[in-house]
Structure 1
């Protein structure tokens, strides 16, 4: 199934143009985690505005995002500024605000992934995962978890049993999560949904026995290719916890085994 205007993700990230460089959107409560709207979902909204700003560069190539405060459901104002528009890429600043206060500030370079050269040379390898049917569905989480993180109902997310021990009180301590993800309505992935997938799995700190949600301070995402239809596989890891903060790296692979998106974020250790 392909992305269509009727897909849930497209509806939830819709923006309305108000001026040459301004938009508004309605943030959906179904994409919240721990009382705040998820940062990956906000990336999808920002990407949608930048796509509408300049349809000749429809795809995010890189976006670096600072989260200045929590966002909640309801209206959001979006302002953009053009930094440079070239023949194949364009760079912009973008800011999301609620009640007059900025909550997200980002810089992005947009392009056309379909027009890029098709050569691939990489030493990276996709995660070795059991088939989705042999993985643990996040839908099986407790009612309390669903209430705290309604965003998980937006996805069909399956965790590798080898990295899901935290769910039964037995985290591995490796700082590693792996699994599969797709949109709950079966819509195929596109570059904007990849932005959201990069920040949609449980925090990797769960695998270290450190629970509760971890607020992101900054996230940089690279989208490397148009994803093929089907499941996206993910590997999320951390290597350094210091000063009350940790980094979280995420790689996404499409159904053909191609690396299609990467991110690194700096986040605060889980509270509580």
Structure 2
């Protein structure tokens, strides 16, 4: 009897399933029912995020997991950036063993080469009443993307105010990500499901220390290091490699690059 397989895809801070590029479609072609969640405060306006707490994100993912997992023989969890942190917290909360865990650019450490000057002292700003909700952390070049074609597309959409990804997020949301980071550091050692971590060497937000930390804590984990991308690995030069890594990890056959992936690769070679 054929195994019925599903997956839950969890996006990053300020984003949507667009953060994961063509991964949902790739999984669908391979016979996996891929379900993307829109986390609380997302897909509307950045202001909506100001009152959202880390528990709201994890709670929403938990509710969706409980709704879906029972329908499948195997059920995988896939998270990008903050979504990777939510995925770890979710796996810990449900003692996930029904499938595998895929962590894409997990920001356990916020120590990349493009972190703003105030990144190291942001905890001081948290202590000033009301400031974290009012202060805007703006998306800026290179938008986590090394590929010039994709970077231009993202820039254009942000200029038009497209809600696929917010142009800024409240500092209060970064504070909630910091809370998630602390939670993940405490619970990572309890994750028992097979795990793969995909992380770019040149990630401008979070260095390879994040992948190293998780690989050292999670019992059955391995890391794939990407050499030609920044933080947004699902929509950058290595997007096809990310997709193939996920397919292989889930025991699925490789697929030919999509037309869009081929265009990205061509532009990367020309750069």
TM over 0.5: no
Range class of TM-score, shorter chain: under 0.3
Higher relative contact order (CA 8 A, sep 6+): 2
TM-score after normalising by structure 2? 0.22
